[in-house]
């Protein structure tokens, strides 16, 4: 029966339209302004329809977190592709990360904000792993191919530098000109790279 197939397709489209509605509200008014009723209003269905696709509002947010990490991973991949040299790749990834954080504030904030209630499994999704793998593979190349136990720690450090500079800059916005901040970031990454084989 092709009918169930069509049904599934329609269901999928409906789900997608829910996410699209939520995304447009979020980008316009912030995540706090996203409500199930507004979503239902935008997609032209009544309120409980949303619950056919998402168990609760948090589930929608988790979807956004996943999507955010896909976008971030894509940005990292694009950056990495612009060079063949691992060290240079890391610098490009750093730049891309910083730009993602500042240009996609809403995404970045729900990805790293207090949205995480209890270090739940939402943070250990495949998408977060993909992002990590992109960077870890680059680190491996820089270290000469082998993946010792230090590599994961180095990744941790690299990510911390990126997140720290990005988020402190988001909080202290306009305190430091963007150009200077970019230099600070590149300096920090340079130091990180030089110290990669300590």
Partner DNA sequence: CTAATTTTGCTAACAGTGTTAACTTTTTAT
Partner DNA sequence: ATAAAAAGTTAACACTGTTAGCAAAATTAG
Told to check if 174 binds DNA by CB under 7 A, we report: no
| Rounded least distance, CB 87 to DNA, Å | 46
| Rounded least distance, CB 57 to its own copies, Å | 12
Point out which residues bind its own copies (CB under 8 A): 30-32, 109-110, 112-117, 119, 123, 152-153, 156-157, 159-165, 167-176, 180-181, 184, 187-188, 191, 195, 198
Contact 192, 139 (CB under 8 A): no
Told to check if 49 binds DNA by CB under 7 A, we report: yes
Q: Near DNA by CB under 7 A, which window of 53-61, 68-76, 114-122, 169-177?
A: 53-61
Partner touching 4 among DNA, its own copies, none, CB below 5 to 8 Å by kind? DNA
Partner touching 184 among its own copies, DNA, none, CB below 5 to 8 Å by kind? its own copies
Whole-angstrom distance, CA of residue 115 vs CA of residue 109:
8
* Angle at CA of residue 149, ends 148 and 152, nearest 5°: 105
| Rounded least distance, CB 40 to DNA, Å | 7
- The CA distances from residue 15 to 19, 35, 79, 82, 165, in Å, are 6, 15, 31, 35, 36
Contact 158, 89 (CB under 8 A): no
Whole-angstrom distance, CA of residue 8 vs CA of residue 53:
12
Told to check if 9 binds DNA by CB under 7 A, we report: no
Cβ-proximal residues to 111 (8 Å cutoff; 6+ apart), any chain: 65, 68, 69, 72
**Nearest to its own copies of 43, 63 (CB atom):** 63
**Nearest to its own copies of 83, 150 (CB atom):** 150
Give long-range contacts, CB 8 A cutoff, 24+ apart: 20-25: 22/60, 22/64, 23/64
Which positions touch DNA (CB under 7 A)? 1, 3-4, 6-7, 10-11, 14, 34-38, 44-49, 51-52, 55-58
């Amino acid at each position: 029966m092709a009918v169930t197939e069509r049904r599934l397709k329609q269901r999928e489209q409906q789900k997608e339209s829910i996410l699209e509605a939520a995304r447009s509200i979020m980008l316009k008014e912030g995540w706090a302004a996203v409500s199930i009723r507004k979503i239902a209003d935008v997609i032209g269905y009544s309120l409980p329809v949303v619950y056919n696709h998402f168990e609760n509002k948090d589930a929608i947010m988790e979807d956004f977190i996943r999507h955010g990490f896909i976008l971030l991973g894509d940005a990292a991949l694009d950056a990495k592709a612009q060079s063949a040299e691992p060290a240079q790749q890391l610098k490009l990834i750093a730049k891309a990360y910083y730009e993602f954080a500042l240009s996609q504030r809403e995404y970045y904030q729900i990805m790293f904000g207090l949205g995480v209630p209890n270090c739940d499994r939402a943070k250990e999704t495949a998408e977060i792993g993909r992002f990590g793998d992109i960077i870890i593979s680059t680190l491996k190349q820089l270290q000469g191919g082998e993946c010792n136990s230090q590599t994961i720690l180095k990744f941790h450090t690299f990510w911390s530098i990126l997140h720290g500079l990005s988020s402190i800059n988001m909080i202290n916005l306009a305190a430091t000109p963007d150009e200077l901040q970019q230099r600070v970031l590149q300096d920090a990454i340079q130091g990180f790279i030089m110290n990669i084989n300590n």
